[in-house]
Amino acid sequence: MAVKMAPALASLQVAAQNREALRQVWQNIQPESCPHSYNFHMHTICSDGRLKPKEVIDQALTIGLKGFAITDHHTIGGYKIAQSWLEFLQRSSPSTSAPHLWTGVEITANLLDTEVHILGYAFNPAHSSLEPYLQGHAPRNSDARAAVVVAALHEAGGLAVLAHPARYRCSAEELIPAAADLGIDGVEAYYAYANPDPWQPSAKQTQQVKKLSATYNLLNTCGTDTHGPNLLRRL
């Protein structure tokens, strides 16, 4: 789903919030989709990553990504810079094919008295419901409740996903049904828990999470959770 750069710069902002296009991608995600075709979990220097947003775009183009999202913790600063760089490419080379960049964020939340991370996508970054979650720090008090986070993302027109569901104190068997009850849209099914090189989703956890996502009719996503200098790995 590579996006052909159009003359209107506003088209990038519209594409970034295209929830239905993202749903379509997730409905067809396969184990081999990440990290060379799609990647929906990565961090820049705007939160706790090592890559500059421009470096993310450069690597995405080199890899040949079709679509991705920058999911910095509690900020969309990296997304904004990356979008500006794509706009520059659009102006300088209108015929160039570029990956589809969706809005993204990672939010710390509380679910079953457990700290979890909820990934948000394809939302309107200017929506007032997201203000408590884009301040550069984890939300507090009632704003930190997973139910409130999911509702805020939905109010902003976005989708909510439980990140790396097999990595918490509570098991995926406990967390995924609870998240589904809150209306979460998906789970990060394809994730490399042991940080292998080359990157590949952990087979045991993937099978477990996909079985649960099918039971609760949730979408499956994939991502490297990159914090280091290479989009093809986590660290």
Angle between helices 53-63 and 77-92 (to 10 degrees): 60
Residue 189: inside a domain, yes or no? Answer: yes
Sign of CA dihedral 50, 219, 151, 141: negative
165-209 pLDDT per residue, tens: 999 999 999 999 999 999 999 999 999 999 999 999 999 999 999
d(CA 234, CA 172): 21
Which residue has better confidence, 178 or 92?
178
State the residue range of the domain holding 96: 3-222
User: What type of residue sits at position 172?
Assistant: A
Number of domains forming the structure of the chain: 1
Which of 45-49, 54-58, 95-99, 228-232 is least confident? 95-99
Residue 174: inside a domain, yes or no? Answer: yes
Residue 235: inside a domain, yes or no? Answer: no
d(CA 134, CA 138): 9
CATH number of the structural domain spanning residue 203: 3.20.20.140
Order the strands of the 159-162 sheet from edge to edge.
104-111, 114-121, 159-162, 186-190, 219-222
- What is the model's pLDDT at position 9? 52
Residue 216: inside a domain, yes or no? Answer: yes
Per the structure block, which two tokens stand in for 77?
A: 């600063």
Percent of the chain with pLDDT over 90: 90
Residue 34: inside a domain, yes or no? Answer: yes
What's the pTM value of the predicted model, to 2 decimals?
0.95
Residue 164: inside a domain, yes or no? Answer: yes
